[in-house]
Each structure stands twice: as C-alpha cells, then as structure tokens.
C-alpha cells in the first residue's frame, strides 16, 4: 500500500515543481504604453526603497535584441535589483517585434517600456514606476556581473550624492584651441559613462527639470553627450567628482577589445565579435564631438562644475603568501 501511494503522488509532486520553476524563472512581460506623467512632479521619497535599485537599460538596436535579453536576465538575478526596465527608444521598430520579445527573469521582474521619442534625454526621466532611491542607467551592450553590480550599489549607498560607475573618462582644457577636450586618463577622472552608472533618482529630477534647457537641446541636436551632461549636473550640486569602482564587466560594443574579457574600472571595454555592433563611439569624430559638448555645457552653466577624482574603489584586497617552488616564488596554494 505504501509503495502504491508514493507512485500516485509522484506525478502530482513533479507537476507542482514544474509549475513553480516555470513561474519563477520565465516571465514574458507585455510592452508597456509610452505614457509619461508630468516628470517634474515632486518625488515622493517616502515611497522609495533604499535596499535595492532599479535598472534602466537603454534599448535601440534591433540586432542586439538577443544580447539585450541576456543582459536583462543577468541583472534580474541580482539580489540588489528591485526591477529591470528596458527603455526602447527606436520609433521605427514595429510593435509586433517588441510584442514578440520574451524576457527570462531570474528574480526581479523585467518590463519593456516604449518611449515616444528617441531622445537620449529620456534615459534620465524620473519615471513614476521607479520605486527605489538608486537607479542604474546602462547600455544594452554592456553586462556587469551580479557581484560587481551589488558592490557598486553598496558604494553608492555610502555616497548617495555621487555618481558611481565602472567606465571613466576625463576632461582637459586645450590652450591652443581655447576649448575643452574629452580625454582618457590613467590618473584621474571626472566623467562616468552611461555604459553603467548608479545615480540617485533625485538627479534624474535635477537633469529633467532644473538644468539649463539648452543643455538638453544640445543632447538632442548632437544625439550624444547625455552622460556628460549628467556628470555636469551632479558635480554642480556637490562640487565633487564621480566614483570609479572595480568590477567584472563585458562591453560588447568596444571593438578594441573583441574577444577579450574586460575588468571594469578601466577605460576600455571587452566583447565578442559576433555580438558587438558599432554605436555612437564608433564615429570617427566621436572624441572631438564630446569635447565640443563639454565646451557648450561650460557656456550653458556659466562655469566649469566638473571635478576630478583619483583612483578607484575595490572590493577588498586579498593577501596571498608566496612560497618557493624550484627557483620561483609562486602563491602558496600553487606550490604543490
């Protein structure tokens, strides 16, 4: 009798397990309407969570849809993430194409939001569906692993007034041209890129509702430089530079590092040739255009608010003893 009961219950038990796994690991999310309430309505801070962040992925290229789905899944698996929103900014994409997208969530829910325009300023709208104080603004061709994401969020929690991120740039003044340059420096930084940046929702409000309107117009005109404008906005408020953190990152859009794994906190990228596709940074005059943006933003603000930071924050330093192996010194755990 006992054996018979087990045989009868087993199919039902596995059916329940299968349904549970299906519900917790696979979720096909509907396309949300491109409706946005007044973005400059005051933020209700009491309703916002401080223990998690919201991930906003900027989506535009249909050829990167599979990569975007993969990245969204990775972010959804992090305990630090409350929700993931893909902000689709390509108006020429057919609605059916977006309806056919299926996201696989490993924890946090994933949503698709179609914006009414392709403006890069939309990346920083203080959207009403954001339920956290911290927001991670990122590209659809950059993947940060779960531990690194959680570390960046932890650093931000200790410095919520600053921008925290993995990809840094800097600015310098060109005396011969009497204009600002957009640079890469190994010793200092003043700009964190929207490849992946963690920022307070208050700065989304600042960017959308308080910075000079001419700055957002420049971003729309150039289809570039929204990240530089955000760094201007934050530095103007706190008179401090951004914070660069070390972490494991993959930048599928940087051709200089195709086939290489990148360690974040540097100034390069890494990716796979079969997934990468050129973006704004592929333009031959990209760096010059970015320098022109800095010069124009300087004029709009009437001063230069950008501030330099030095070094990077790492998640602990491992101490490793060295042992003699033959004529060489090697980590002790490798001597056998």
Q: What is the β-pairing status of strands 164-165 and 243-244?
A: parallel
Torsion of CA 220, 223, 227, 230, to 10 degrees: -10
Nearest to 282, CA basis, from 257, 258, 254: 254
- What CA–CA distance (Å, rounded) separates 298 from 214? 11
Helix (H) or strand (E) holding 149: helix 146-158
- What CA–CA distance (Å, rounded) separates 247 from 149? 8
What does the block give as tokens for 11?
A: 């199919």
Helix (H) or strand (E) holding 65: helix 65-76
Angle formed by the axes of helices 286-301 and 226-238, nearest 10°? 40
- What CA–CA distance (Å, rounded) separates 277 from 61? 9
Q: For residue 202, indicate whether it is catalytic.
A: no
Nearest to 242, CA basis, from 149, 153, 169: 169
Nearest to 133, CA basis, from 89, 87, 80: 80
Taking a C-beta distance cutoff of 8 angstroms, is the pair 89, 36 a contact? no
Number of other residues whose CB lies within 10 A of the CB of residue 160: 15
Annotated catalytic residue, options 115, 140, 141, 227 = 227
72 φψ region: left (φ > 0), alpha (ψ -120 to 50), beta (else): alpha
- What CA–CA distance (Å, rounded) separates 217 from 18? 52
- What CA–CA distance (Å, rounded) separates 90 from 87? 9
Residues taking part in catalysis: 227
């Amino acid at each position: 009798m006992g054996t018979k009961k087990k045989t009868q219950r087993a199919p039902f038990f596995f059916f329940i397990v299968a349904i549970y796994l299906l519900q917790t690991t696979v979720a096909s999310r509907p396309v949300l309407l491109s409706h946005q309430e007044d973005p400059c309505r005051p933020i209700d801070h009491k309703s916002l969570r401080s223990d998690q962040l919201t991930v906003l992925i900027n989506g535009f290229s249909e050829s990167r849809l599979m990569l975007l789905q993969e990245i969204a899944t990775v972010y959804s698996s992090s305990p630090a993430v409350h929700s993931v929103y893909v902000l689709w900014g390509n108006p020429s994409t057919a609605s059916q194409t977006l309806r056919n997208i299926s996201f696989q969530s490993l924890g946090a829910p994933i949503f698709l939001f179609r914006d009414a325009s392709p403006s890069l300023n939309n990346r920083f709208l203080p959207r009403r569906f954001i339920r956290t104080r911290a927001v991670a603004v990122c590209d659809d061709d950059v993947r940060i692993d779960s531990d690194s994401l959680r570390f960046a969020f932890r650093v931000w929690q200790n410095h919520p007034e600053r921008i925290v991120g993995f990809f840094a740039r800097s600015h310098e003044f060109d005396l011969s041209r009497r204009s600002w340059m957009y640079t890469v420096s190994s010793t200092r930084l003043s700009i964190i890129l929207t490849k992946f940046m963690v920022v307070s929702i208050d700065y989304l409000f600042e960017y959308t509702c308080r910075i000079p309107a001419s700055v957002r117009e420049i971003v729309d005109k150039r289809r570039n430089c929204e990240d530089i404008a955000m760094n201007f906005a934050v530095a103007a408020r706190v008179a401090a530079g951004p914070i660069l953190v070390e972490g494991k990152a993959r930048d599928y859009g940087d051709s200089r590092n195709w086939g290489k794994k990148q360690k974040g906190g540097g100034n390069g990228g890494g990716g796979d040739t079969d997934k990468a596709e050129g973006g704004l940074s592929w333009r031959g005059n990209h760096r010059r255009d970015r320098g022109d943006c800095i010069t124009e933003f300087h004029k709009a603000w009437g001063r230069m608010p950008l501030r330099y930071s030095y070094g990077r924050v790492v998640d602990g330093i491992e101490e490793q003893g060295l042992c003699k192996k033959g004529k060489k010194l090697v980590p002790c755990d490798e001597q056998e």
